[in-house]
Amino acid sequence: QPARIINDVIATTSREIQPCLPRKDAVRQQIKRARRVCDEELEPKTLDDFKLPDAYSITLNGIHFAKNITEGTERILLFTTAENLKWLQEAKFWIMDGTFKTVPTLFRQLYSIHAPAGGNINFRIVPLVYALMTMKSEELYEKLFQELNEMAEEHELELKPDFILTDFEQG
């Protein structure tokens, strides 16, 4: 934590030297810049370089929940579980949306599918599917839903909500 580091340094610096130290906000900016440089070195430059670590593709129970889908030169990283697909099957409606602001550099959007889960007692609308997508084209959306349906079929499930709520934007 930058704030803790800064406070520790100030606390261990003599009173005579403290006025010579840079302002806290200036040091905080330097730390952010240094982190950005480190992050850029770690971030892959191409989709071929991108490898999803097991820590992000296996649940704490050891269940694989990430699927890497390629469609031509485009890519989808699909995150869901069989349990989540069961909740989707039971749901009368889904809520779907994409965001463009919080995605890794190589991807264009994070698409999510939310639906009711938890039964009558613990009813909640929760995200059940996440998909990192390199494009927002009709073909890639079709591929996403084709893969979801195939995954459901593998678990003898059928995904047919009565209706879908979505914030449609022309691609």
Token output for 134: 């390199």
Element of type H or E holding 151: helix 138-154
Please report, for residues 19, 64, 68, 86, 157, the alpha-carbon distance to residue 61 in angstroms, rounded to integers and kept in the order given: 52, 9, 20, 18, 22
**CA 130-132-135 angle, 5° bins:** 130
Model pLDDT, residue 37: 61
* pLDDT tens profile 42-66: 677 778 777 887 778 888 888 889 9
Token output for 5: 């580091």
Model pLDDT, residue 39: 59
Determine the number of helices (DSSP H) and then strands (DSSP E) in the chain. Answer: 4, 6
Model pLDDT, residue 89: 96
Higher pLDDT, 16 or 126: 126
Q: If DSSP codes are grouped into helix, strand and coil, which group holds residue 75?
A: strand
